[in-house]
Every structure is written in structure tokens, then in C-alpha cells.
A and B are shown apart, each in its own frame.
Chain A
């Protein structure tokens, strides 16, 4: 076997494994509790995180929800969940039609490589989510830094 073939094969084997290792955000008990039995669908929400963060103490995050933000149709709240932080519910943001645009930017702490999930609750009672994986080189929260 050529070295090149071997590497390609190893990469192909490693990738699906990494995907399978992650928990489905919909299986997260916190997300289930938030939705209270209502379906949480993928879409409308865009969660942007860097692919790799050198330092988990301050990771820029952007959450945008596709919504007209009118009195009849707006985003009520956005909830951020972490897979590996000691406090999984990182933040909740409450918006309303006065926001004009459903977008939040902030900086979060992440304790290790993981998947971050953002769930949005809309005024019609529906729930939407997006998730993004991130590799964190230096974890936050638990180390003595």
C-alpha cells in the first residue's frame, strides 16, 4: 500500500468516527426541557464559531436567526448550549419585535473541543436549532489559568 493511500484511508476512517461520537443535540435533556415536547427542527438559526480556537477562554460566537422580527413573527429567545462545559446552558438571550434583527454576537468560554448548539424559540411557538463543532486547544473553566 502506498503511503498516500494509507493516509487517505485513515482520514476516511477517522472522520465518520468523530461525527458519531457526538451526541445529537435533540437528545440533550436541556434542549428537550426547553422545548417541552415540541419538535426542535434544524434550520432558520445560523451559529458561527471559529473551527479552531487556541484559547477556550474567549471564543467569538455569532447567532443569527432568519426572522422578519415583526410583532406577528419574531424570535422570542435564543438559548446556547455546550456539550462539555460544567454549566451547559451558557446563555439565554431574550429578544422581541423591537430588536429589528435577530442576531447576537458575544464571546464564550469553552471547556474543550465540542459541539455548541443554539436553539431559538419563535413567537409562533416553534423551535429551531443549529449546531457547530469546534476544536479548542486550551480549555477554559477547569484549568488553573
Chain B
């Protein structure tokens, strides 16, 4: 599961930064049928979390009410240089993770 994360490369200490994540995922609702009429099993990303240098700063429970290729934008305070690590899991038990580095000055 590929994901695209957008955070600033650099920030001042204490600055509120915008974090955007877009994960490639069908977010299958479980209400659709395939060509031969069989119900397609639900498969949505049900949990997404973001850790900043190991500390959880954001978590979301998602459902079939979130669009395919879920996009979430939130904010966090730039405290120290390091990594923002995103992890998520879907109903089939597939897990994904992605990390992005940030340099904090001052």
C-alpha cells in the first residue's frame, strides 16, 4: 500500500506544521457486488496513526464512510528533528507504514 506524505522539510521549533497523508487503498465498503452478483467483502483501513519520534501525536479510526484513497490532513507542533512515522492497517490485516524526516531549527 503506497502512501504519499506531505510535511515541511524544515520548521522552526514550536511551529504548527500541516501534515497531509494520502494512502492508496480502495476502502471497499462491503455493500458492492461484483460482476457475478457476489458481495465484495468489506476492506477498509480501520486505523491510522502518526508517531513523532516515537510519541503518538495523531490517531484516527476510519470506516467505509471515508473515501477511497483516504486523505487526512492534520496539524502537529514541530518539537525536534526526527521522523514522523505513519502506520495503518486494513480489515484484511494488511499493514502499511511510511516515514518522513523533518529538520527542526532554533
Taking Cβ atoms with an 8 Å cutoff, the residues of A that contact B are 57-59, 80, 82, 85-87, 89-96, 98-110, 140-142, 144
Chain B residues in 8 Å Cβ range of A100: 16-17, 75-77
Separation of A134 and B61 alpha carbons in the complex (Å): 23
Some 9 contacts from A to B, beta carbons below 8 A apart, are A91-B61, A99-B74, A99-B76, A100-B17, A104-B72, A106-B72, A106-B73, A108-B65, A110-B65
Chain A residues in 8 Å Cβ range of B27: 109
Please, how many residues of chain B have a CB less than 8 angstroms from a CB on the other chain?
30
Among A57, A99, A105, the residue within 8 A (CB) of B77 is A99
- Which residue of chain B has the shortest Cβ distance to A87 in the bound complex? B63
* Contact A109 B60, beta carbon cutoff 8 Å: no
Interface residues of B in 60-105 (CB under 8 A from A): 60-68, 70-77, 79
- Which residue of chain A has the shortest Cβ distance to B29 in the bound complex? A141
Q: Is B1 an interface residue (CB 8 A)?
A: no
Given known contacts A101-B75, A104-B74, A109-B64, what 10 new A-B pairs fall within 8 Å (CB)?
Answer: A80-B65, A91-B63, A91-B65, A95-B58, A98-B76, A99-B76, A100-B17, A105-B72, A109-B27, A141-B29
